[in-house]
Chains A and B, each alone.
Chain A
Amino acid sequence: MPKIQQFLSFKIGSRLFGIDIIAVKEVNSYVKVIPIPRTGETVLGVANLRGYLVTVLEPSIIFNVTSSADKEKTFKNFPCIILKTSAEVSLSLAGTPLANQLMPEVVGLQVDKIGEVLDIERGCIEPAPANMSGMEQRFLNGVVRLDGDLMLLVNLGELLSVDSLS
């Protein structure tokens, strides 16, 4: 296990989140998401990413945090984090536990704002506190203290399994 792990940071509302950079395929602000009726509000819709179909999720609803973007954001260009599939991540890093957490299909997460990629020392990661007003602890792998801010490290396995277990 390397001592340093890289995280892509992003914001939903005022909250700062981070996900393991290895799980990220790309960030794209120009995907046009088509809403799909009768699929629940955690799913924003489906987009065509260069011939691949991407199901775009709404993490703000799943995390129960308020998004600063207005509800009609489908038709505006908000950044979308496209995640690797479980097969892709195994190719880039054999034996990674992420392979079991990611989906066999292409999934995107629409967020409010993309931040920097941060190098985090393993030792700096603390367990998630239980009092995360409104947000369930199971969605987090831990937290990292940054200057004046707290980055919440997303547990992708929990996030992605929401609503996909039909």
Chain B
Amino acid sequence: MDWSDLGDFITELVGEAKDHLATIEPDLLELEKKGDAVDDELLNRLFRAVHSIKGGFNFLDIKPVGNLTHVMESVLIRLRDRKLSATPELVDCFFAAVDKLSIMVNDIESIDTIPIDKEILDLKPFEKMTADEQAKLAKKGDSKKTAKKTSKNKNVAKEKSKLSASDEKPKPAATAVETPTAKVQDEPEENLAEGKDEDGEVAIKTSVASESLRVRVSVLNRLMNLAGEMVLARNQLSSTVTGKGGQLQTMKDGIGRMEQSISRVAGVLELKAGGSASRDFIEAQLQVIMDEYQKIILRPLEDDPVLKSVMAQVDFLTSEMQENIMSTRLQPLGVVFGSIPRMVRDLGRTLGKSIEVEISGDEVELDKSIIETISDPLVHLIRNCCDHGIETAEEREKENKPSTGLIEVRAVHDGDRVMVEIVDDGRGLNPTKIKNRAIEKGLITRQEADVMPNSRLQSLIMAPGFSTADVVSEVSGRGVGMDVVKANIESLGGTIDITSSMGMGMTIRMHLPVTMAIIHAFLLRAGGLLFAMPQSSIEEFVRVRKRDIATKVESLGDSSVIRRRGRLLPLVHLADVLGIPRMFNFGKTLPGGTVAKDKENIEPDAMMIVVLKVGDYRYGLVVKEIFDYEEVVIKPVSSYLKRSNCYSGMTILSDGGVSMMLDSAGIADEAGLRFENLGDQEHEKSAASEADSSHNILLFKNGTNETFAININLVSRIDKIAVSEIITLGGKEYLNKKNKTTPVLRLENYLPIAKPEEDLDHYFFIEPKYSRFPLGFLATELLDVYESSEAMDTDVVAGAGVLGTGMINDTLTLFIDVFDLHDRFHPEDDLDSSNEKYLSDFRILLAEDSPFFQQVVKKFLSGVGADVVGVDNGQHAWELLNSGEKFDLLLTDVMMPDVSGLELIKRVRRDQRLKEFPCIIISMLATDADVEQGMSVGADRYLIKLDKDELLKSIAEVLGVEVNA
């Protein structure tokens, strides 16, 4: 059929029909669940949706849609009039009709070729059938599935209570529907069904004036690309303005060369003229020329305040615009979650299992492309749960589980990422089965399997070519396995992991980025080529001086390792993985005997190692050089370059060059690193050694005699900056670097200390973690990292902005309080001062072995009025809790001498009187496994140390205190 003359009109109609179809599906599901108890509102909504579709298509004389919707409509009227009941048979027919409708709507061009006779014929009988006849029919159909039916009925009550808990708007009580009053209220809608001529109008009235517009995805994609290009152009512009590249740099280089030739000319003249007086004269004259040149050409470019402020504006607007464009592409997860209940219902019927699904986090938004990419994996995972996870009702009853299986799908924001979780209460993973399967498939050897802990075994099911189902069924196992799911998620820069305990069910947890457009990446050089590595994959950089390489880098056969904080990191040479010449080998002859011939081949004076993260594991990537980071727009890898796993994307750099984005997991894979071989012990050791760093403090100076200290865990980033990068806007100072404008805090303005004695050209800019707004303070000199914070004395000075003082290396050192500084720098967003001391009625017991952290946490809590008693180990805390002293809450660290935090909470939970006592863990150990362990011993919350906002919020929640925002 040719619709070209109707053009936009059709597009609009199809769009509208799709919207309606999307509401019909969940409504049908609910109709089936509630059966005759369903309320009129829902039936009316269904009716309206079907009716609107019918109206629109009839208007354009598109018969097939009109015919099908007509039958649906008349059956719906009878349902609403309670002349029929919503039996599964009827709902099945409806689902079939809805599916057909959506096929037709999606392929409007060939609508005439789509057969609809079956759907119409199936629905037709219901137009005339009486309720009795229907009941008979239902019985006939049911006799086959009695077992299932009964188990279903048993759960109706439960289902209902769940629905009202999870639904946004609770439906009116089902009994009210039967009363005549309810019918009278529905009168206007009754007209809708009968007065056909008015229909069009009513349909329009019901669609609330919308505040949104349909925009073609292609337009948004184009906008997205343009915004990305704009960010790049902005970066290029700003590097020109700040003199890092382009014309200004060329000019500066030119001046340098001119100066050189001036002094050479002067030298020659001196010889000829034979007198220093004339040389001085000539030099002075030439200097005048130079100065004038600088004044005329360079200064206006370099120091132009207008240019700078315009640049700052462009910066701001570009970022703002880019963010907004990005947000137009965000879609709620409901788009994919919406189809899950229907799918689970259908699967349940096919498999003869009773499965219920609970969904939360519909409203969480992600970029459209991410939603599209996870849609298939999600469907696959849910299918797996239904097929392999959930047992049949009989099996479940034998295991003393409720006969209806439960699948929970949740989405929550988790920092700048989104966590999606699928939890089922089915049979879980069977480690022995996995083990045998993996050995059979040649994924691991018997020996490896024997030493492999269960947590590692579970991740094996995501290895390529693995499927645990005994029989490949119709539902899942159609060639795509968990490995494809994993690859899809990882291609987005996301992670996926599985935890399961046998017989209890399985949890699949995915962490996904919200958008994927612009990221921070560090530039690395290897083998003469430039590569980019996402900042999120990088743990730290390590520089090993040439003379230390022999002692610090150990060789094990062909491979080398480096010891970092008590654990061994395998080292991988990027050049080797990429198959390009290394160019240097630190004193050893290179394979193939490459000889140094140009500056590329000059041996660097140190080995540069980028420590990369792959899940919980780390390895070191050796490169020739590490450059600064850049904001880059990631573009998909060309289909011609997918042969190598090493790349996750391509990008254009601010200088116009092209670079490949490296993939830390892919490189590890190509290099043959097998992390699964590492035992859990190694893993725990590494976590513990990380926790040890909580005692490391950074010592620095601020241009005077005073020495300052800050805990290294509170530092997010340190940059060396030029004083010219600090700009003043509206009386405040900002650091304008890397297209980011960060407020600058000078310690002398907030602490009772002297000003730096002289102005320097360069400062160190220290940005703290956990601040609500970007902020950084200046230091003139970084001294050292000192281990242990025991030296702090908190009683001597506890002034504003200072936590305490201590003698370190025989020098009086001030421990600065970044949270206090932050609050005083941004007084307007100081949450505490606007609040009354809302914890003043509470007494909190704090178990923390580090005096530094004890002090910090006490300060946080006394700020809101709490009475805090601090102890330095779990044993002491336990004694106090038992002494009968009254406390309202226990805050405890995990790693403590004698009795650990976990042990402490275990004891508390075992005690009859303290069973319900509120306990919160605050720790530096932050992996999922740590959190799980903490929660499993009975903690109410598990928090990461030093995030003040989170701590106060959680305490208020646990104690049930209302905080006025």
**Chain A residues at the B interface, C-beta cutoff of 8 Å:** 32, 34-40, 42-43, 46-48, 51, 53, 55, 57, 103, 105, 107, 163-164, 166
Partner of B643 from the list A35, A103, A163 (CB cut-off 8 Å) is: A163
Chain B 202-253 residues near chain A, CB threshold 8 A? 229, 232
Q: CA–CA, A67 to B643, complex, Å? A: 25
Interface residues of B, Cβ cutoff 8 Å to A: 229, 232, 527, 529, 578-580, 635, 638-644, 646-647, 650, 652, 656-660
- Taking a contact as CB atoms closer than 8 A, the residue among A34, A39, A42, A103 that contacts B657 in the complex is A34
The answer to whether B660 and A53 touch across the interface, beta carbons within 8 angstroms, is: no
Taking CB atoms, residues of chain B closer than 8 Å to A43 are: 640-641
B640 and A57 within 8 A (CB): yes
Contacts of A32 in B (CB 8 A): 657
Query: Could you show 20 A-B contacts with beta carbons less than 8 Å apart?
Result: A34-B657, A36-B641, A36-B660, A37-B579, A37-B644, A38-B643, A38-B644, A39-B640, A42-B640, A43-B641, A46-B638, A46-B650, A47-B658, A48-B657, A51-B229, A51-B232, A53-B638, A163-B643, A164-B639, A166-B639
Q: Are A34 and B638 in contact (CB under 8 A)?
A: no
In whole angstroms, what is the CA distance A35 to B658 when docked?
10
Please state if A51 and B641 are interface contacts (CB–CB under 8 Å): no
With A34-B529, A48-B658, A53-B658 as given contacts, are A166 and B643 in contact (CB-CB < 8 Å)? yes
The CA-CA distance from A35 to B641 in the complex, in Å, is: 11
* B657 surroundings in chain A (CB, below 8 A): 32, 34, 48
Are the C-beta atoms of B658 and A163 separated by less than 8 Å?
Answer: no
Interface of B is mostly: mixed
The answer to whether B638 and A38 have CB atoms under 8 Å apart is no
Bound: A36/B642 CA distance, A: 11
Q: Is the CB of A163 within 8 A of B644?
A: no
B639 nearest in chain A by CB position? A164
Given A46-B638, A164-B640, residue A35 in contact with residue B579 (CB < 8 A):
no
Q: Is the CB of B646 within 8 A of A38?
A: yes
Task: Give every chain B residue within 8 A of A55 (Cβ-Cβ).
Answer: 638, 640-641
Determine which of A37, A53, A57, A163 lies in contact with B650 in the assembled complex, contact meaning CB atoms within 8 Å. Answer: A53
Nearest chain A CB to B917 CB, angstrom units: 58
CB contacts (< 8 Å) of B660 on chain A: these are: 36, 46
Closest 10 CB pairs of A and B: A38-B644, A37-B578, A55-B638, A164-B639, A166-B642, A34-B658, A51-B229, A37-B580, A46-B658, A39-B641
A-B contact count (CB 8 A): 61
Asked if A39 and B639 sit within 8 Å, CB to CB, the answer is: no
Of residues A36, A40, A57, A166, which shows the largest number of chain B Cβ atoms within 10 Å of its Cβ?
Answer: A36
Taking A36-B647, A39-B643 as known contacts, 9 extra A-B pairs with beta carbons closer than 8 A to each other, sorted by chain A number, are A34-B529, A37-B578, A39-B641, A46-B641, A46-B658, A48-B658, A51-B652, A53-B658, A164-B640
In the assembled complex, which residues on chain A have CB atoms less than 8 Å from the CB atom of B232?
A: 51
Report the bound CA distance from A51 to B652 in whole Å: 7
B residues in contact with A57, CB < 8 Å: 640
Give the residues in chain A near B656, CB-CB below 8 Å: 48
Q: Which residue of chain B is the closest to A106 with respect to CB atoms? A: B638
A42 to B579, CA, bound (A): 16
A34 contacts which of B578, B580, B643, B659 (Cβ < 8 Å)?
B659
CB distance from B612 to the nearest CB of A (A): 18
**Least CB distance, A84 to chain B, in whole angstroms:** 16
Residue of chain B at shortest CB distance from A166: B642
Contacts of A42 in B (CB 8 A): 640
CA distance A156 to B579 in the complex (A): 30
With a cutoff of 8 Å between Cβ atoms, the chain A residues found around residue B650 in the complex are 46, 53
Task: Determine if B229 and A38 form an interchain contact, defined as CB atoms under 8 angstroms apart.
Answer: no
Q: Which residue of A lies closest to B229 (CB)?
A: A51
How many whole Å from B941's CB to the nearest CB in chain A? Answer: 46
Are B659 and A163 in contact, with the CB atoms below 8 A? no
Contacts of B578 in A (CB 8 A): 37-38
Contacts of A47 in B (CB 8 A): 658
Known: A36-B660, A38-B646. A163 touches B640 (CB 8 A): yes
Q: Are A103 and B229 in contact (CB under 8 A)?
A: no
Cα A38 to Cα B527 in complex, Å, equals 13
Alpha-carbon separation in the docked complex, A37 to B526 (Å): 11
Within the assembled complex, what's the spacing in Å between the Cα atoms of A163 and B644?
A: 12
Q: Which residues of chain A have C-beta atoms less than 8 A from B579's C-beta?
A: 37-38
- Quote the shortest CB–CB distance from A79 to chain B (angstroms): 19
Please measure, in the bound complex, the distance between the C-alpha atom of A158 and the C-alpha atom of B99, giving whole angstroms: 39
Q: Give the residues in chain B near A53, CB-CB below 8 Å.
A: 635, 638, 650, 652, 658
A166–B647 Cα distance when bound, in Å, is: 14
Q: Which residues of B contact A34 (CB under 8 A)?
A: 529, 657-659
Structural contact, A105 and B639, CB atoms closer than 8 A: yes
User: A38 CA to B638 CA in the complex, in Å?
Assistant: 13
Q: Out of B527, B652, B659, name the residue touching A37 (CB < 8 Å).
A: B527
Return chain B residues, CB-CB under 8 Å to A107. 640
Query: What is the distance, in angstroms, from B247's C-beta to the closest C-beta of chain A?
Result: 20
Q: CA A46 – CA B527 in complex, angstroms?
A: 17
Distance from B255 Cβ to chain A, minimum over Cβ atoms (Å):
28
Compute how far the CA of A51 lies from the CA of B654 in the bound complex, rounded to whole angstroms: 11
**A43→B638 CA distance, assembly (Å):** 11
Whole-angstrom CA separation of A106 from B527 in the bound complex? 27
A46 vs B531: C-alpha distance in the bound complex, in angstroms? 13
* Measured CA separation A55–B527 after assembly (Å): 21
- Name, among A46, A55, A105, the residue most crowded by chain B CB atoms within 10 Å (CB to CB): A46
Complexed CA–CA distance, A36 and B578 (Å): 9
A37 and B640 alpha carbons, distance in the complex (Å): 12
B276 → A minimal CB distance (Å)? 49
- Give the residues in chain B near A35, CB-CB below 8 Å: 529
B224: shortest Cβ distance to chain A, in Å? 13
Contact B643 A105 (CB under 8 A): no
Instruction: Write out the residue numbers on chain A whose beta carbons fall within 8 Å of the beta carbon of B527.
Output: 37
Neighbouring A residues of B658 by C-beta, 8 Å: 34, 46-48, 53
* Closest-CB distance, A159 to chain B (whole angstroms): 12
Q: Report the separation of the CA atoms of residues A3 and B42 in the bound assembly, to the nearest whole angstrom.
A: 64
Question: In the bound complex, how far is the Cα of B222 from the Cα of A32, in angstroms?
Answer: 25
A35 to B578, CA, bound (A): 12
Task: State whether A48 and B640 are in contact (beta carbons under 8 Å apart), knowing that A34-B657, A35-B529, A38-B578 are contacts in the complex.
Answer: no
Complex-state Cα separation, A138 to B529, whole angstroms = 36
A164 CA / B642 CA spacing, docked (Å): 8
- Which residues of chain A come closer than 8 Å to B635, judged between CB atoms? 53
Q: Check A39–B644 contact: CB distance below 8 A.
A: yes
Interchain nearest-CB distance for A101 vs B (Å):
14
Expressed in whole angstroms, the Cα–Cα distance for A156 and B232 within the complex equals: 33
* Bound Cα distance from A43 to B660, whole angstroms: 14
Interface centre among A37, A40, A53, A57 (most CB of B within 10 A): A37
Residue among B529, B578, B644, B658 with the highest chain A CB neighbour number at 10 A: B658
Question: Which of A32, A40, A42, A51: most chain B Cβ within 10 A?
Answer: A51
Instruction: A32 to B820: give the CA distance in the assembly, Å.
Output: 52
Query: Can you name the residue of chain A whose Cβ is closest to the Cβ of B225?
Result: A51
CA distance A48 to B643 in the complex (A): 21
* Minimum CB–CB distance for B830 against chain A, Å: 44
Contacts of B229 in A (CB 8 A): 51
Query: Within the assembled complex, what's the spacing in Å between the Cα atoms of A166 and B644?
Result: 10
Separation of A53 and B640 alpha carbons in the complex (Å): 12
Q: In the complex, what residues of B have CB within 8 A of residue A163's CB?
A: 640, 643
Shortest C-beta distance, A96 to chain B (Å), equals 19
Would you give the shortest CB distance from A164 to chain B, in whole angstroms?
5
How many Å lie between the Cα of A34 and that of B652 in the bound state?
Answer: 11
A144: shortest Cβ distance to chain B, in Å?
A: 29
Q: Which residues of B contact A103 (CB under 8 A)?
A: 639
Q: Please, which residues of chain A bring their CB within 8 A of the CB of B659?
A: 34
B638: chain A residues within 8 A (beta carbon): 46, 53, 55, 105
B707 CB to nearest A CB, Å: 48
Give A107 to B578 CA distance when docked, in angstroms: 23
A36 to B579: give the CA distance in the assembly, Å. Answer: 11
**Chain A hits for B639, CB < 8 A:** 103, 105, 164, 166
Q: What's the least CB distance linking B617 to chain A, in Å?
A: 23
| Residue numbers in A under 8 Å from B652 (CB-CB) | 48, 51, 53
Closest chain A residue, CB of each to CB of B530: A34
Q: Which residue of A lies closest to B633 (CB)?
A: A51
